[in-house]
Amino acid sequence: MTLEIITADALAPIQHGFFTRRGGASSGVFQGLNCGFGSSDQHEMVAINRARVADAMGVEELALVGVHQVHSADVIAVSEPTAEKPKADGLVTRTPGIALSVLSADCQPVLFADAQAGVIGACHAGSKGALAGVIEATVAAMVDLGATRDSTAGVIGPTISQRAYEVGPEFFEDFVAEDANFARYFANGNGDRMMFDLPGFGLSRLREAGVSRAEWTHHCTYSDPDRFYSYRRSVHDKDPDYGRLIAAISM
């Protein structure tokens, strides 16, 4: 089955893609293109899926570089292909032949490109990482490699939308404690519950970082089980585990 790859004009002509779950070798609750070795899926199936992604990106398998994601604001600069996965949530490079990748299953995968400077970036921005500043930190790390903010585009891929992201009062309080204006990303839910606009918050962080173009692909992971994995949906469905989507960008 052919891989389904979502792209964004804002990142052109840089090679990139937000991969859906379609076209993979995994089965069961992981049916499709599960690219997370951290899942309980068969290791060989994940390896096959990642090899298909590397091929689609036009890079060697070792050059599909990722990190051990920990919901932080830490960003690493990558200069050569490596199988090592340091703890971080953002990656940047100006080295041709490397594909930066992040995994997600409701959190925001964000891809960045300054085509003029030849610098790219990627980050995993869940609510914790986005609040901690991983989006701004990734842009800053790109600038350190020679990118300029007014030539950089940032695109948020498939993520959980506000209508599906119910949170409790403690979650809300953490955000407004950081900045009272963050209350605008919350809508009233049932009882003391609230609905959080993660991609809206991510777009605001991209604009705060000064990028020239900030976009979201407008795909909700929770609401489209045929195309996307979703951690929250797996909990609601009482599934034993869930797959991980991959997003990648390469020079």
Residue 171: closest CA among 199, 200, 193: 193
Residue 39, CB half-sphere, CA atoms under 13 Å: how many? 31
List, edge to edge, every strand of the sheet that includes 245-250: 5-6, 15-19, 245-250, 99-104, 64-65
Is residue 170 domain-resident? no
Residue 162: DSSP 8-state: G
The DSSP-derived string for 85-117 is --B-SEEEE--TT-EEEEEESSSEEEEEEETTT
pLDDT at 251: 85
pLDDT digits (tens, 9 = 90+) for 13-59: 999 999 999 999 999 999 999 999 999 999 999 999 999 999 999 99
What residues make up the domain containing 114?
5-161+197-250
Is residue 187 domain-resident? no
- Provide φ and ψ at 13, rounded to 5°: -95, 15
pTM above 0.85, yes or no: yes
Residue 49, CB half-sphere, CA atoms under 13 Å: how many? 30
28-53 burial string, b = 16+ CB within 10 Å, else e? ebbbbbbbbeebebeeebbeebbebb
pLDDT digits (tens, 9 = 90+) for 116-148: 999 999 999 999 999 999 999 999 999 999 999
pLDDT at 207: 97
Return the ∠ at Cα 111 (arms to 105 and 116), rounded to 5°. Answer: 175
Residue 234: closest CA among 12, 6, 18, 21: 21
Q: Are 29 and 243 in contact (CB under 8 A)?
A: yes
pLDDT digits (tens, 9 = 90+) for 207-245: 999 999 999 999 999 999 999 999 999 999 999 999 999
Is residue 178 domain-resident? no
Contacts of residues 164-167 at CB distance under 8 Å and 24 or more positions apart, as own/partner, are 164/220, 164/222, 164/223, 164/232, 165/106, 165/195, 165/196, 165/197, 165/198, 165/222, 165/232, 166/190, 166/193, 166/194, 166/195, 166/196, 167/193, 167/194, 167/195, 167/196
Is residue 131 domain-resident? yes
Residue 168: DSSP 8-state: -
Is residue 78 domain-resident? yes
pLDDT band for position 1 (cuts 50, 70, 90): low
Q: How many domains does the chain have?
A: 1
Look up the CATH number of the domain holding residue 13.
3.60.140.10
pLDDT digits (tens, 9 = 90+) for 75-88: 999 999 999 999 99
For 52, the token pair is: 């298909």
Is residue 169 domain-resident? no
Q: Are 135 and 125 in contact (CB under 8 A)?
A: yes
Is residue 181 domain-resident? no
Looking at the predicted structure, is the pLDDT value of residue 185 above 70?
Answer: yes
